[in-house]
Amino acid sequence: MSTSIPGCLYVIVAPSGAGKSTLVNALLEREPDIGLSISYTTRQPRPGEVSGREYFFVDRTEFQAMIDRGEFLEHAEVYGNWYGTSKHWIEKTRATGSDVLLEIDWQGARAVKAIFPDMTFIYILPPSIEVLRKRLVKRGKDSKEVIERRLAEANEDLKHVPEADYVIINEDFSVALLDLQSVVRALRLTVRRQLKLHANLIS
């Protein structure tokens, strides 16, 4: 159903290993009205990943063609691979009044804000860099060199936290999930949105 007020746009950024994807998946189970934007990427699928579910997997030639056609809201190179977000899908989904959630990096968040200044920027952080290191080692997905690179990137992430609207420290998962859900629900209840959504009641 179309509406005169677009759905909320949540942009979630976190260092690798901070628990962002797990939190987002749990949030989507609790808040099924949020549409998760699926990025395009040039990286190879990991075991169990399916194109169109975790990402749309494309080669570098196709990715460049999409850039040339102006299809991306933002795109960036991360750890040697390219990632991009479909501008058209976000605009179409928000126009129906549905919320949209993006999982991107801080550079992408800047690009999104330039086009959608009403977005809400949420940073998810580990309680410490040392805890992050232990989580990256424990999950066993990356080599020692990759882990060190991800930790260096995490330190860079910390420099950009002041650009966010909200910061959630993922120390206790249940608390972090409640915090994330609270942000989402509070944003839906702002007076600007309620005045438009319930104009017949509030005059």
**pLDDT for 63-77, tens place per residue?**
999 999 999 988 888
pLDDT given at position 173? 96
pLDDT given at position 101? 96
Order of strands across the sheet that contains 72-78: 56-57, 40-41, 81-86, 72-78
pLDDT given at position 69? 93
**pLDDT for 81-115, tens place per residue?**
999 988 888 998 899 999 999 998 898 899 899 99
Structural domains in the chain, CATH included, are: 9-37+98-197 (3.40.50.300)
pLDDT given at position 5? 86
Q: Say how many C-beta atoms besides its own lie within 10 A of residue 87's C-beta.
A: 16
pLDDT given at position 40? 93
Residue 169 has pLDDT above 50, yes or no: yes
Type of residue found at 7: G
**pLDDT for 30-82, tens place per residue?**
998 899 998 899 999 989 999 988 899 999 999 999 999 999 988 888 878 99
CA distances from 105 to 6, 36, 98, 185 (A): 23, 15, 23, 23
Task: Report residue 28's pLDDT band, with 50, 70 and 90 as the boundaries.
Answer: very high
Q: What is the enclosing helix (H) or strand (E) of 23? A: helix 20-30
Q: β-strands 166-169, 72-78: how paired?
A: unpaired
pLDDT, the chain, mean: 91
Residue 177 has pLDDT above 90, yes or no: yes
Residue 1 has pLDDT above 70, yes or no: no
